Structure 1
Amino acid sequence: MGSVCIGAFMGQLDASIVTLIFPALQREFHAALAAVQWVSLAYLLALIALLIGVGRLADVAGRKRVYLYGFAVFTAASAACGSVPSLPALVACRLVQAVGAAMLQANSVALVATSVSRRRIRTALGAQAAAQALGLGVGPTVGGLVVAAAGWRWVFWINVPVGLAAIAAGRYLLPRTRHYSRGGPFDWAGLILLSAATTSLLLALSAAAGLGLPSWSIAALLATAAATATGFWIWERRPASPLIDVTVARTAAVAAGLAGALCGYLALFGPLVLIPQVLVNGGLGELHAGLLLSALPGGFALAALGADHLLPRRWGNRARCVAGTLVAAAATALLAIAPAEPGRLVWLLALLGLGLGVFVPTNNTVVMAALPAHMSATAGGMINMTRGIGTALGIAAVTLALHHGGGPGIAGARTALALLTVASLLAALTALTARAGRGPDKK
């Protein structure tokens, strides 16, 4: 658990730190913001496109092996990112870093799920989710301190000693893979179709959120995403060794669980964009806004770690999912109607984090338990791909709501929070319509 949580923490820490170096990159490379944004966007596109494919490879070749190689690739790419002479070289190194991150993230959930007993899987996945939340929460603070004290290159170099320590720990502490998936030719056509679908969708969302692309490209990218997603679904019924076994993946527990994960992560990441905009526009400094916002991932981590000990033991997975999403919906609804006072916001953000911290690990447990053990890395890749798309949807939804609501004022913020409330309620609906699978309980 400790070895896996290092990777979960570092992945989210790296994702949240990088946005803080944009001004420094603009100054050093004399680049526009639109060009610098590709440092984050290229990483996100490659990561999400590769997660399921890497998960499938890990199920066949061994999850521990792929995880350790992933840390090696991530660490080497981090060192290269900190040494680049130009912005295009940094974007290229970030693509390589995303390959290593995909090898880590596709396996982290699977390594946890296949290494603990059924009755402890929910608690274990809660710890893994808490590590991700803590990385997300401390990222802006750590990033600000590192950039101010040592420069932007150390944002990447700091990964190197941590990565080397994680490789050594994983070599001796991670268990060997016991359940392998059936081998066969790798489904390259399926990977290409899936990568095209996710990349087109994320580019369309980024364009809608303000990326410097022509307006007509949004419709073209959405059409491409729909066509390639349909092609992927049709193709996956044909190969002898498909990337995803659609007959298993379309079961009620898996389909509803992934839909719930998308809505949950949308509700989690939306406020991370919205609240700083509202507070800074209201006159609060960036440092104070960042500290206040840390209540959200802090509440998430607290609930993810403690829910199994504090909630009634008779509550099954479904009851926990519904309760968590209803708390999250209540928090976003109260945020929409409450005055934007820091003292009130910090408690509501913590409440939102608590609700999502109950829902997300439990929902992930349902998805993992509904699939056979030999598909665990593929299932982990599906969960993390859904998380990435939900993150992008949260950012795009908030940005569009603020844009059409007249900017980061009261009206725009209320529109965005209404969307986040709807997302939380939709997550509750998915929990009500799906069976709980073969998790720690079946309620």
Structure 2
Amino acid sequence: MPVRDHRTDPHPATPRLRHLLTTERPRPDAIRTSPRAWRLAVATVCFGAFMGQLDASIVTLTYRPLRNEFHTTLAGVEWVSLAYLLTLVALLVPAGRLSDARGRKLMYLYGFAVFTAASAACGLAPTLTALVAFRTVQAAGAALMQANSVALVTTSAPPGKMRPALGIQAAGQALGLALGPTIGGALVATVGWRWVFGVNVPIGVIALIAGHYLLPRTRQRATSTRIDTAAVLLLAATTTCALLALSIASGLRLPLWTALALAGAAILAGWAFTRRQHTHPRPLVDLALLRTGGIGPGLAAGLCGYLVLFGPLVLVPVDLDRHGTPPLIAGLVLTALPLGFALAATTADRLLPAAWTDQRRSRYGAAGCIAALAVLAAVPQQPALLPGPLALLGLALGVFIPANNTLVMKAIPATAAGTGGGMVNMTRGLGTAIGVAAVTLALHLGGTGTGARTATLVLLAFAALAWALGYASHHP
């Protein structure tokens, strides 16, 4: 048998494999030329939109079984959520820049593959530490998906179809957010918490196959992938140290001196991050941009809005569990919040008066959050009484958050739209993470008697801050 010389072989195995793994594959001609091609591409992106929001609203239903199985505290279990959120915040901007240069379709599919494999690993995790580690990997995949979703939608849609395309994607996100608590409660009550993560696997496999055939290749790419790695690490250190300190105060089994050391490290890393943003030519956060047009207060108001949205996703199931409510019932009760948000976010344009500007929607939405949380703090924490104020809170947030984000993006110059979109995504992740940590701390400090009411009042304070920030930043 002749020996093949790899130096003269025109098709060696290694380069072919490298080409396969680093090159975006074209769509079949029958799909590419179809008038429905853009709809198929948008529908494929909706898999990621659905899974991302489903995961965000489903995981908190696993807190009780995780505490029981791994014999730990609520402050320990919350890191199943926090590890995911912090990784997502740190990697969104780098993932976006990498995708602009290497190809959005390619990175999106890699994200799905990582997310799906990590979901399977989460479902098989033998310890809480392993579960948190796998959640970190899962978030890395989610960052690649989220950083590319809007770009894939906008580049797939033909002229005049961008708004409907983005509306379809928003509907996918809303559906995942609304179904998460019900699906999570049903899975925990029947087959166990591990299937909360396992449910992502079949969806991910279908999405990978669909993406390979239905997503378009990247036509225009950036020439540089330079990322300020030091800034990414400083941001991650700041947020992680700060939230670890909060977790220790919330009952995490570590000495008190470590909380003080972590708080000091968070302050130091935050100072270093801010200094670097002033001096770096391509900062992760453009501090000069934050000082113009009310953008800074608008982003802060958005952070408060996401905090108020996701805080109850921890508060309600934990508090109902203390009163002996089954997971399925708790999930059904909690569904009222994301369902209200989904309804408002997808129908507000058609139902609200046309004369209402984004400023007015923002103010009325924040005021509605204050009213809903005031009712939630006043009523007894019983399953029959919670869906009403939770649905009202969801409706108010569904009006406030899109309007506030629109105002922020309108204030950002077109030349900095990508940077502005990245900052909006970062505030969403940070708001979600702080909401989880703040509610956990309030539950711990308030104890079994008044913990839920204390946590609700904390959320009420943040809703009032969102109203004040939004009103100040957008007041003529």
Contact 2:180 2:335 in 1 (8 A): no
Q: Which amino acid aligns with 1:317?
A: D
Match of 1:361 in 2: 402
Give the deviation of 1:297 after TM superposition.
0.8
Please give the alpha-carbon distance, in whole angstroms, between the structure 2 residues aligned to 1:251 and 1:169: 42
Picking from 120, 130, 146, the partner of 1:79 is 120
Match of 2:231 in 1: 190
Please give the alpha-carbon distance, in whole angstroms, between the structure 2 residues aligned to 1:123 and 1:433: 32
Match of 1:423 in 2: 462
Q: Which amino acid aligns with 1:312?
A: P
Three-state SS of the structure 2 residue aligned to 1:421 is: helix
Q: Which amino acid aligns with 1:200?
A: C
Give the deviation of 1:38 after TM superposition.
4.7
Residue by residue, what CA displacement relative to the aligned partner does 1:188-235 show, whole Å, maximum 9, x if unpaired?
121121121122222223333332232233332232222222212221
1:260 and 2:301 equivalent? yes
Contact 2:228 2:282 in 1 (8 A): yes
Match of 1:318 in 2: 359
Gaps in structure 2 of 5+ consecutive residues: 1-41
Relative to structure 1, the CA distance from residue 340 to residue 137 in structure 2 (aligned partners, 3 Å threshold; closer, same or farther) is same
Give the deviation of 1:133 after TM superposition.
4.5
Picking from 21, 32, 47, the partner of 1:6 is 47
Relative to structure 1, the CA distance from residue 275 to residue 8 in structure 2 (aligned partners, 3 Å threshold; closer, same or farther) is same
Three-state SS of the structure 1 residue aligned to 2:226 is: coil
Moved more, 309-318 or 359-368: 359-368
Gaps in structure 1 of 5+ consecutive residues: 437-442
Please give the alpha-carbon distance, in whole angstroms, between the structure 2 residues aligned to 1:141 and 1:413: 21
Residue by residue, what CA displacement relative to the aligned partner does 1:289-317 show, whole Å, maximum 9, x if unpaired?
32122111110111011001111122222
Alignment of 1:127-206 (within 5 A): 128=169, 131-147=172-188, 149-171=190-212, 173-174=214-215, 183=224, 185-206=226-247
Alignment of 1:364-403 (within 5 A): 364-371=405-412, 378-403=419-444
Give the deviation of 1:351 after TM superposition.
0.6
Contact 2:93 2:284 in 1 (8 A): yes
Residue by residue, what CA displacement relative to the aligned partner does 1:5-37 show, whole Å, maximum 9, x if unpaired?
321221232344444456666777x66457665
Count the aligned residue pairs: 434
Alignment of 1:221-300 (within 5 A): 221-282=262-323, 284-300=325-341
Contact 1:78 1:160 in 2 (8 A): yes
Three-state SS of the structure 1 residue aligned to 2:95 is: helix
Contact 1:59 1:375 in 2 (8 A): no
Picking from 208, 216, 224, the partner of 2:249 is 208
Three-state SS of the structure 2 residue aligned to 1:236 is: helix
Match of 2:347 in 1: 306
Please give the alpha-carbon distance, in whole angstroms, between the structure 2 residues aligned to 1:2 and 1:32: 40
Moved more, 360-369 or 112-121: 112-121
Q: TM-score, normalised by structure 2?
A: 0.78
Moved more, 338-347 or 314-323: 338-347
Please give the alpha-carbon distance, in whole angstroms, between the structure 2 residues aligned to 1:169 and 1:121: 21
Q: Which amino acid aligns with 1:428?
A: W
Match of 1:440 in 2: none
Match of 2:25 in 1: none
Please give the alpha-carbon distance, in whole angstroms, between the structure 2 residues aligned to 1:40 and 1:368: 28
Residue by residue, what CA displacement relative to the aligned partner does 1:93-128 show, whole Å, maximum 9, x if unpaired?
332212101112233355556767999878766665
Contact 2:78 2:436 in 1 (8 A): no
Please give the alpha-carbon distance, in whole angstroms, between the structure 1 residues aligned to 2:383 and 2:201: 37
- Structure of larger gyration radius: 2
Contact 2:439 2:455 in 1 (8 A): yes
Q: Which amino acid aligns with 2:187?
A: V
Give the deviation of 1:66 after TM superposition.
2.7
Give the deviation of 1:356 after TM superposition.
0.1
Contact 1:122 1:365 in 2 (8 A): no
Relative to structure 1, the CA distance from residue 52 to residue 254 in structure 2 (aligned partners, 3 Å threshold; closer, same or farther) is farther
Match of 1:439 in 2: none
Please give the alpha-carbon distance, in whole angstroms, between the structure 1 residues aligned to 2:164 and 2:196: 31
Give the deviation of 1:420 after TM superposition.
1.8
Match of 2:261 in 1: 220
Contact 2:370 2:460 in 1 (8 A): yes
Relative to structure 1, the CA distance from residue 179 to residue 228 in structure 2 (aligned partners, 3 Å threshold; closer, same or farther) is farther
1:53 and 2:56 equivalent? no
Please give the alpha-carbon distance, in whole angstroms, between the structure 1 residues aligned to 2:227 and 2:437: 34
Three-state SS of the structure 2 residue aligned to 1:252 is: coil
Moved more, 394-403 or 324-333: 394-403
Equivalent pairs: percent with the same residue? Answer: 56
Please give the alpha-carbon distance, in whole angstroms, between the structure 2 residues aligned to 1:175 and 1:152: 36
Contact 2:109 2:208 in 1 (8 A): yes
Alignment of 1:45-124 (within 5 A): 45-83=86-124, 88-111=129-152
Aligned-residue CA RMSD in angstroms?
Answer: 3.5
Contact 1:122 1:362 in 2 (8 A): no
Three-state SS of the structure 1 residue aligned to 2:278 is: coil
Match of 1:433 in 2: 472
Q: Which amino acid aligns with 2:50?
A: F
Give the deviation of 1:72 after TM superposition.
2.0
Please give the alpha-carbon distance, in whole angstroms, between the structure 1 residues aligned to 2:438 and 2:126: 35
Q: Which amino acid aligns with 2:144?
A: M
Please give the alpha-carbon distance, in whole angstroms, between the structure 2 residues aligned to 1:70 and 1:305: 27
